[in-house]
Chain A
Amino acid sequence: METGKTTALTAMLLALGLSGYAVAGKLDEVKKRGALKCGVSTGVVGFSAPDAKGVWQGFDVGMCRAVAAATLGKPMAVEFVPLTSKNRFSALASGEVDMLSRTTTWTYSRDIDLKVDFAGINFYDGQGFLVAKKLGVNSAKELNGATICVKTGTTSELNLADYFRTNGMKFDPVPIETDAEAIQQLLAGSCDAFSTDSSKLNAHRASLAKPNDYKVLPEIISKEPLGPLVKQGDPQWTDIVRWTLNALLTAEELGITSANVDRMAATSTNPEVRRLLGVEGRLGEMAGLPADWAQQVIRAVGNYGELFDNTIGANSPIGIKRGLNALWTQGGLQYSPPFR
């Protein structure tokens, strides 16, 4: 009797497991599956968090939806897999997710040693410190001997060690697993400072009960270029993700928004607009995507500026300024190669 239960369950497990047998080419796999598997965090304010109905929202989530819109035409056909900073790379390497959109920093060792490819930089960030104003600290150089909360398994802890060593200061690290823990400890005063990417610091600060009691210190102690990642070895897929990001940037450069994309597609005479939106040229075909893939992307999430503003920028409660993430024409670093 009991043997029956085991065999039944094993059979069902095998059936469910083998149903996902991989085929060559990530694009074909995604199309066959009918959904994109996207690795996100377990919950970071503004970047990826599920709302009360279980629908994921955020800047990184928008990037995933853009890729899904480009490849499948359906921005909601995304399966979000929440990953911790520990298992994110192994999930990508094993094929459990097709791409990782999880505020991951592009570094030498990750690119070369971990066999992943960074498909662009969708957020230029840097590591900073969030402190309570009560401490009376105005600069990171005054943090000698402080207790600092930092996430394990990230570039933040290594940068912190380097910064304090270079400046001849000491600090007391408190390893934490999630941002929520760090904020809780900062509020309770058991950490003097929280150190991570400053965009997240601003997001967290905006979501506190009394944001004016806390400030982000002016020093940015490292470069943190954040971007989507894919597994190494599938150039077509890497290109698709990269050029989806570039499509968002180019759309903002050319003034295409989700409101006017249909009108632009029908009436614009700008050759680059026409090439981007697939009205002329064969750009989509070259990548194995439908001709109107960029239209789908912009209709789904808007251009880069809209995505930024709606999730972490001016239209959201967080209110991060564009800063380095403005377009190159407006003093920022976001610059897309041409669609030609």
Chain B
Amino acid sequence: MSDQGFVRTEMIPPRPPPVSQSSLTGWLKENLFYSVPSSVATLLTLVLFAWGVVSVLHWLVVPTWSAQSINECRSIVAELGRGISQSGACWGVIRDRGIQLMFGFYPAAGYWRPVLAFVLLLPALAPVLFAEKLPKRLRWFSLVYPFLMPWLLWGGSIWIPVGIMSGLVAGYLAYRITLGLNSLLCLAISSAVTLAWWVLVVPVLDELLTSLAPIALDPVPSRMFGGFMLSLTIGVVAIASSLPIGILLALGRKSDLILIKSLCVGFIEFIRGVPLITLLFVASTLLNIFLPPGTEFDIIMRVIIMATLFASAYMAEVIRGGLAALPRGQYEAASALGLSYWQAQRLVIMPQALKISIPGIVSVFISMFKDTTLVSIIGLLDPLGLTTSIRANQEWAGIVWELYGFIAILFFIVTYSMSRYSLYLERKLHREH
């Protein structure tokens, strides 16, 4: 029939969705108020949350930054007309002792050194974590950083870390030269060369170069480390040192040699079975007994040693998980190519396993870093230990929440950023596979 009525020649533009579906009202309806129990829960939560936030803010916002003592704080708060004694935060203690909580007893002139050391940690880690995006040159910095950081923190002549690095270079050269021989012999020779270099050549070289060009930083003994810097130092050094030990333990645990396997399993299960505080007790009271008479290790060194041992057991478990996640085909393909055990590990297995375990390694670091607070129990002056010292002064006796809150926020910032980073890494790895 020819009288069709109406034939459309062009499409009507799509209309926006109804208001109850889109925009804020729609979102609210779908996510918060979709049923009666949910609406009740939402309202209750909002009320409680608002009440909580308002009372905390009321306590937080007080003009006590310039107060010199807790009594002065109280008088300022009383002037505001709030009535009962501690209903306002006393920020004077943060102004007075905040730097001490961050740096401990480190000499003030040298504050740039730990700051620089920890800021440089990020570019040093970057090539490991963001392999593709950065120039290969940056990897040289990562190699240099483990020598740079102790030098920055502890000071001393620059020629000692240079000497140690040169010893490793000498060992590597010896390894390349003797590559043709049997691998065990090769390893033995290069280790011997390195050790000999360190023991014999480095002291001589150090004296010579110091007399020529005395570049040195003021030495700062470990007992002056304190506060947040101490926690970071213990955490970073323990994790960095525990990585190679953890790799060896994980490989040992997987090995077919029964003795090596049982030694590794025994060590790992022992460390994972005891709480860290008992190992710290060992560090503070017993380690001196286990070492030859006359050796004097600073308490912080002893704590770092025990923390390294502790972290290496957990690291070994994480790497074992990474090794297990590799398909068997990788091992078989490496054998089919004729690679020996160590060659296969170095070229095929370890790079992949480590890449898979990076999120696990980050989480071991986070928990190790949080566990550094335990050193306050054995008397080291990390942030929690410093609260006792701060409260032993006339001005700040009786302060509680401000100090704990400040320390909690410091830890939260570091660990939260690390865990966000680890999530990002996990997503990236997941996409790549």
Contacts and interface: CB of A to CB of B under 8 A. Distances in A.
Contact of B301 (A13, A178, A183): A13
A7 B198 CA distance: 11
A22 B304 CA distance: 22
B296 A22 contact: yes
Given A45-B397, A94-B288, A209-B398, 12 more contacts: A2-B244, A11-B167, A20-B295, A42-B385, A42-B388, A43-B391, A45-B392, A83-B379, A87-B284, A87-B378, A90-B284, A204-B397
Given A204-B397, A209-B398, A8 B168 contact: yes
B16 interface: no
A82 interface: yes
A43 B389 contact: yes
Interface in B288-303: 288-289, 293-299, 301
Contact of B244 (A5, A22, A81, A177): A5
Contacts of B296: 17, 20-22, 95-96
A84 interface: yes
Given A13-B305, A82-B389, A207 B298 contact: no
A51 B104 CA distance: 11
B186 to A, nearest CB: 15
B284 A18 contact: no
Nearest to B103: A54
Interface string A57-93: 0000000000000000000000111111011001100
A12 B240 contact: no
A17 B222 CA distance: 11
B366 interface: no
Given A79-B221, A82-B381, A180 B237 contact: no
A270 interface: no
6 contacts: A5-B243, A16-B297, A21-B294, A42-B379, A42-B385, A81-B299
Q: Which size class do B's interface residues fall under?
A: 35 or more
A133 B149 CA distance: 55
A208 B294 contact: no
Interface string A171-190: 00000011110011001000
A136 B393 CA distance: 29
A185 to B, nearest CB: 11
B394 A8 contact: no
Given A52-B96, A184-B400, A84 B305 contact: no
Interface string B90-108: 0000001100100011000
Contact of B295 (A5, A18, A90, A179): A18
Contact of B393 (A45, A80, A183): A45
A114 B71 CA distance: 43
Given A42-B381, A45-B397, A7 B194 contact: yes
Interface string B300-326: 010011000000000000000000000
B407 interface: no
Interface in A74-130: 79-84, 86-87, 90-91, 94-96
B394 A2 contact: no
A209 B237 contact: no
Contact of B297 (A17, A50, A91, A184): A17
Interface of B: 70-71, 74, 85, 96-97, 100, 104-105, 142-143, 146-147, 150, 154, 160-161, 164-165, 167-168, 194, 198, 221, 223, 237, 240-241, 243-245, 247, 284-285, 288-289, 293-299, 301, 304-305, 377-381, 385, 387-394, 397-398, 400
Given A17-B295, A42-B385, A183 B168 contact: no
Given A7-B194, A94-B288, A51 B393 contact: yes
A16 B389 contact: no
Contacts of A22: 293-294, 296
Prevailing SS type, chain A contact patch: mixed
B197 to A, nearest CB: 11
Which A-B residue pairs are the 6 nearest by beta carbons?
A43-B392, A20-B296, A43-B389, A94-B288, A180-B391, A49-B392
A15 B391 CA distance: 37
Contact of B164 (A12, A52, A86): A12
A288 interface: no
Contacts of B161: 8, 12
Given A13-B301, A54-B100, A5 B240 contact: yes
Contacts of A9: 146, 150, 237, 240-241
A94 B146 CA distance: 31
A49 B146 contact: no
B150 A12 contact: yes
Given A5-B146, A9-B241, A43-B392, A187 B294 contact: no
B389 A208 contact: no
A309 to B, nearest CB: 16
B271 to A, nearest CB: 17
B164 A8 contact: yes
A340 to B, nearest CB: 38
Contacts of B245: 6
A195 B239 CA distance: 43
A201 B289 CA distance: 37
B398 A8 contact: no
Interface in A298-318: 317
A212 interface: no
B392 A179 contact: yes
A204 B397 CA distance: 8
Contacts of B388: 42-43, 178, 180
A18 B146 CA distance: 21
Nearest to A179: B392
A1 interface: yes
Contacts of A43: 388-393
A149 interface: no
A90 B302 CA distance: 14
B299 A21 contact: no
A311 to B, nearest CB: 12
B223 A50 contact: no
Contacts of A187: 398
A44 interface: yes
Nearest to B295: A17
A209 B70 contact: yes
Nearest to B391: A180
Contacts of B394: 45, 206-207, 317
A338 interface: no
Given A11-B164, A54-B100, A204-B397, A2 B243 contact: yes
